[in-house]
Amino acid sequence: MPRHPIDPESLGPLEADLAVLPGGLGSIPDIVERRARAKTLPGAAEVVDDPRVTKEDRTVPGPSGEPDVRVRIYRPVAASGALPGVYVIHGGGMIMGEVDGEDPVATMLCVELTAVVVSVEYRLAPEHPYPAGPEDCYAGLVWTAAHADELGIDPARLAVYGGSAGGGLAIATALMARDRSGPGLRLLMALYPMVDDRNETPSSRDVTDVGAWDRSTNVEAWGWYLGGREADAYAAPSRATDLGGLPPTYIDVGTVDLFLDEDVELAQRLLQAGVPTELHVLPGSYHASERRAPEAALSRRIWALRVGALRRALA
């Protein structure tokens, strides 16, 4: 059982999902069925159309010798000139997720920040284990930066953004950009990032039956993602021995999230490495609670903190 109580306003939508699917998505052993069922739960995100935003899907070059990568580009209709860019990496534990699921968030960021948003769809495990995911994400970032003029992006104002698995992949992508002399980043925003394959922290042992993203599901996902390989810094950023030289970083995580301890530890190490780091620990928030319960006061606070940080970084 988790040590901290769940925010009461955020609990209802989680209970509604669990009423439809007791045990949560992790109770479905077949990954193809699990992905399909995720789209039918009450809190599942839907593709939205906003008259203030244009959307375009493209296929861009993937890693050398590998398949092309799909991206979705969001542009504010009323804006002109070079705009800030936000490169979005979806979540899903490295085993689920797609750009459609990130559509509401990408649209919101496009409107709220008056920014061009590029959302990437990377290959998933277990069909495509590490390093397919981070290499796809990095290839999409390289393409975005190389086509900044065409996309209407100011290359000096580019952020990478991701939650959960997408947060871990955002950090891995930033590490690759540092190590490969790749695109410069104004901000790395990693929301409750999935960063440690070892599952040894107290919070990773405590959160076993919340129903959002629990220990057994996390252990299973890491096993599928690594596919028998030993984790390195790009697979599990907690294993990085050198975090220096990363862009300014924003991390948030809830007290009822199994990633709590690994994320706090990573933020401390970033600070010790000289990386300007903003960390928010959110009492009562379970994994991705702000997406399940968007009307809760806690969720509104979470989104305000994130959008504010992005605005400051991209100004």
Report, as an integer, the average pLDDT of 26-35. Answer: 93
Question: With 80 as the cut, is the pLDDT of residue 30 above it?
Answer: yes
Q: Is 287 annotated as catalytic?
A: yes
CA 138 vs CA 145, 174, 251: distances in Å: 11, 8, 20
Which residue among the candidates 10, 119, 164, 299 is catalytic per the annotation? 164
Residue-range domain boundaries for the chain: 8-314
Report, as an integer, the average pLDDT of 105-124. Answer: 98
CA 20 vs CA 8, 17, 40, 306: distances in Å: 20, 5, 10, 31
Report, as an integer, the average pLDDT of 258-276. Answer: 98
Report, as an integer, the average pLDDT of 92-121. Answer: 97
Residue 4: what pLDDT?
87
For residues 151 and 76, what is the distance between their CA atoms, to the nearest angstrom?
11
Question: With 80 as the cut, is the pLDDT of residue 28 above it?
Answer: yes
Cα separation of the two ends of the chain: 42
- pLDDT tens digits for range 126-181: 999 999 999 999 999 999 999 999 999 999 999 999 999 999 999 999 999 999 99
Give percent of the chain with pLDDT exceeding 70: 99
- pLDDT tens digits for range 170-200: 999 999 999 999 999 999 999 999 999 999 9
φ/ψ (deg, to 5) at 251: -130, 135
Cβ count within 10 A of residue 156 = 12
Element (H, E) at 251: strand 249-256
For residues 131 and 34, what is the distance between their CA atoms, to the nearest angstrom?
22
CA 99 vs CA 211, 212, 218: distances in Å: 23, 20, 21
pTM over 0.85: yes
Q: Is 280 annotated as catalytic?
A: no
User: CATH assignment of 8-314, given 2.60.120.10, 3.40.50.1370, 3.40.50.1820, 3.90.1150.10?
Assistant: 3.40.50.1820
Evaluate the CA torsion angle 232, 233, 236, 241 in order and state its sign.
positive
For residues 266 and 247, what is the distance between their CA atoms, to the nearest angstrom?
14
Instruction: Report strand pairing: 83-89 vs 53-60.
Output: unpaired
Which residue among the candidates 10, 287, 289, 299 is catalytic per the annotation? 287
Report, as an integer, the average pLDDT of 212-240. Answer: 97
- pLDDT tens digits for range 31-67: 999 999 998 888 777 777 899 999 999 999 999 999 9
Beta strands in 45-202 (DSSP E): 53-60, 69-76, 83-89, 116-121, 153-163, 187-191
- pLDDT tens digits for range 59-91: 999 999 999 999 999 999 999 899 999 999 999
Nearest to 211 by CA among 32, 30, 12: 12
Which residue among the candidates 257, 261, 263, 285 is catalytic per the annotation? 257
Residue 305: what pLDDT?
98
Q: Is 164 annotated as catalytic?
A: yes
- Dihedral angle at the C-alpha atoms of 55, 61, 45, 16, nearest 10 degrees? 180
Residue 313: what pLDDT?
98
Residue 1: what pLDDT?
59
For residues 259 and 256, what is the distance between their CA atoms, to the nearest angstrom?
9
Cβ count within 10 A of residue 61 = 14
